[in-house]
Chain A
Amino acid sequence: MTSIAENVENVPVDVQKKKQQTLMTLKRVIKYSGVRLISLFITVVIGVYLTIMIANMGGYVDTMMKAEIQERITMQIQMNPAFQNMDPATRKELTEKEIQNEIKRLNLDQPLLLRSVRFLRNALTLNLGRAMNLSSDSGSRNVRAIILERIPYTLLLMGTANFILFFTTLFLALALSRKYGSFWDKIIIGLSPTSSAPSWLYGIFLILIFAAVLKILPFGGVIDAPVPKDFLGRSLSVLRHLILPASSLIISQFFYSIYNWRTFFLIYSSEDYVEMAKAKGLPSRDVERRYILRPTLPTIITAFALLLIGTWTGAIITETVFQWPGLGRVTFRAIGLYDTPVIVGTTIIYAYLLAITVFLLDIVYALVDPRVKIGGGGEPKK
């Protein structure tokens, strides 16, 4: 007992010091995370507010929409046979009233500054409001309904393409970095400039070959018309429509992605500690896993996270070329119809996702990369 007591007496100094240290680290972590969270939130707020102002062109869109309302309602009343026999003064009054009603409905009678602040508050609380002109396929004007309706399609397309792209290129690059200088390596390097072309250009070539000339795959859209009755038929039809857009997205990034990862792995595999591991005679699988992949993990995770964000935004042009009813296309249509709520809605979702990802990345970095010590390495110099 005594010996233990003696031990206990001895230990507390150490434990206390350690405890104090853990507490300090915890404090630092909380403080750091708090600061980071606040700064990210401010970033999102400013970004979204800017988008709101741009989507309204600093009030210019208001003028345009008012003119449009005036013209539309004047026409409506003039064309309506019920009002044909009305005397001009009453009709004018009616027109004026209708125009004011419509302006009020769209809240155009309030100053933009006021509206923009309300937009911002609603956007930040994900209260996305109602679209001005667009409606979802089910007929709802609710922006959330419109966006939710499109998200599955975008996720299907971008998810498929991005996951295939990410994992195939990563593993091919790893395999290639082992055979540095080989025939395939040279081929990949030679082909990497092809990725300078955007996916829609490849999309056009693919449509030309497989839809127009060979006639084996559809030009665009998401499902055959009439829609197949059974689940299997529907899935197969969607899959057939998915092939071309997904391939175009994959092809446009494929070779450059492999080249990039390959170069990246090569740089890391020429580090001294890798040479050392090889010299020790470790099997190449172990070398790869423990000495090459481990230190490159943060970068791979970052790339993967950014890919996840990219998956949400959709690809405006590729979706337009393939008439794929995703988020990208709805954004494009919303812009064409000056539908600010929808534009802001898509932006806010993207901004939130980005901010959350960046924040999570900071934490994940600290977990996987021992070099990233929160608050800087060691004690600060006096």
Chain B
Amino acid sequence: MKQFLSTLREIRKYPAAIVGLLIVSALVIFAVVVVINIPYQEAIRLWRGGEEVYGRNPRNVPPKWFNWFREDDLPESFELIEGDNGVTSTVETTKGGTTIKTLSFEFDYNYTAFPQDVVFYFKSNFDVKEPFVAMTWVTPDEREIRLGNFGTGPTLTFPVSQDDQIRKKVDGMMPNVGLFDDPEQEGEQVLQGTYKVNLEAITFEPGSEINVEMLVLGQVYGWAGTDHLRRDLTLPMMWGAPIALTFGLLAALGTSVTTMIFAAIGAWYGGVVDGLIQRITEINLVLPFLSILIMVGTFYSRSIWTILGVTIALSIFTGGIKQYRAIFMQVKESTYIEAAQAYGAKDGRIISRYLIPRIIPLLIPGLISAVPAFVFLEASLALLGIGDPVLPTWGKTINDAYQNAALYRGWYYWILEPAALLMITGLGFAMLGFSLDRIFNPRLRGL
């Protein structure tokens, strides 16, 4: 405890250590909060749930906070349903069970950018004859554009941007642009003002009802934007933290501790055991680390736990074992070890109680400095397309972005967000580890 306090006091002298410690603790707290609030199953549902989970998000749009740095805001998505402000509806029933429902959606559009799409969702119940709708688009300057007349079936999704008929009516522009375009101005300029959609829905059977929703898809979404499948990137950004931390910490811990134990055993027993460990280390040096990981990922299993196990197994017999061995060789000669031998302590006891504890102050900085390498390793594997198949991670987001040429198409947020988070995580651990190394390592003290 006393030693711990003095270490803390020592850390205060290094600003980098404080920043690193803050980043690391913030990340750990963040990761815990994320896992508690969005449990594993829920995260997978949100990430792989399909259209019903994220089908109503805009595609490939930057996060909302982009607007804070822009003079003219990009449009945000909004939905209009019956009963909302701006939606009026009248129902008229005629003889023979035919019902005419007249709906009018009214909304103000004061952005300078066009929306990504306008989508209508129809939902109805009927026995034989499907309902029929007719829609008209009314611009602020009172132009009327027919959007279409069609039967809806039990459910129908009608995105205007996909409709060639509308496209023809607005001079070949994309419908989501053409419907909002100001014809008086050169080029594509938004006509600001109040838009209206008049909709007549006719049902032909008693008891047959129809529900209509209108959705205007904006150009910004959520805290992290969306990807090519309309998925909210907030989830991988948040869930990336626990995964990166778990992988990084477990791999670093597993590697350093096992390396240390093997080094201690080798140094203590010497002879054949030591020689064997040295030879294994040399063989391991010949093996292509990343290639083997990629092979395991491609041929065998992409599960993050398999990769973690292989990573640790391959990282035990590396250069670190020689460093630890050198230190153990020194410690081995100490008089207190001799004393322990004199009172009859067994080999196992000497290794675990006398050798290993001596080296722990050196282990901690090494362990923390090793974390970023493993965090980035996980991201690297994901970037090569062999990340965990179910979990959303930072590396996988970069991979998705890369596959979709995000940099080329200007979707910078898609790559920058996970890259920045990876960078912050890596820097946090590295800063802390470096400073601890300078505190604990007597040769570096003061340098």
Interface residues of A (CB under 8 A from B): 39-40, 43-44, 46-48, 50-51, 54-55, 57, 60-61, 64, 180, 189-190, 192-198, 200-201, 204-205, 207-208, 211-212, 219, 263, 266-267, 313, 316-317, 320-321, 331-332, 335-336, 338, 343, 346-347, 350-351, 354-355, 358
Are B412 and A194 in contact (CB-based, < 8 A)?
no
Residues 394 to 432 of chain B near chain A (Cβ within 8 Å): 398, 402, 407-408, 410, 412, 415-416, 419, 422-423, 426-427, 429-431
Chain A residues within 8 Å of B430, by CB: 192-196
Number of A-B contacts (CB under 8 A): 131
What residue of chain B has the Cβ atom nearest to residue A51's Cβ? Answer: B287
Interface residues of B (CB under 8 A from A): 16, 20, 279, 282-288, 290-292, 294-296, 298-300, 369, 372-373, 376, 379-380, 383-384, 398, 402, 407-408, 410, 412, 415-416, 419, 422-423, 426-427, 429-431, 434, 443-444, 447
A interface: dominant SS: helix
Could you give 6 example pairs across A and B, Cβ below 8 Å?
A47-B285, A190-B16, A201-B422, A266-B447, A267-B443, A317-B383
What residue of chain B has the Cβ atom nearest to residue A351's Cβ? Answer: B286
Chain A residues within 8 Å of B376, by CB: 196-198, 201
Are A331 and B291 in contact (CB-based, < 8 A)?
yes
**Please, how many angstroms separate the alpha-carbon atoms of A180 and B422 in the complex?**
32
**Please, how many angstroms separate the alpha-carbon atoms of A321 and B398 in the complex?**
11
**Please, how many angstroms separate the alpha-carbon atoms of A316 and B380 in the complex?**
10
Shortest CB-to-CB span from A307 to chain B, Å, is 15
Chain B residues within 8 Å of A198, by CB: 376, 380
Shortest CB-to-CB span from B417 to chain A, Å, is 12
**Please, how many angstroms separate the alpha-carbon atoms of A206 and B296 in the complex?**
31
**Please, how many angstroms separate the alpha-carbon atoms of A43 and B279 in the complex?**
7
Are B380 and A335 in contact (CB-based, < 8 A)?
no
Q: Indicate which residue in B20, B286, B383 contacts A47 across the interface (CB closer than 8 Å).
A: B286
Chain A residues within 8 Å of B373, by CB: 196
Apart from A196-B429, A347-B287, list 14 A-B contacts with CB within 8 A.
A51-B287, A192-B434, A196-B372, A196-B426, A200-B380, A208-B412, A212-B408, A263-B447, A266-B447, A316-B384, A321-B383, A331-B288, A336-B298, A343-B291
**Please, how many angstroms separate the alpha-carbon atoms of A195 and B431 in the complex?**
10
Chain A residues within 8 Å of B434, by CB: 192-193
Chain B residues within 8 Å of A267, by CB: 443, 447
Shortest CB-to-CB span from B13 to chain A, Å, is 13
Chain B residues within 8 Å of A346, by CB: 288, 291
Chain B residues within 8 Å of A204, by CB: 398, 407, 415, 419
Shortest CB-to-CB span from A361 to chain B, Å, is 13
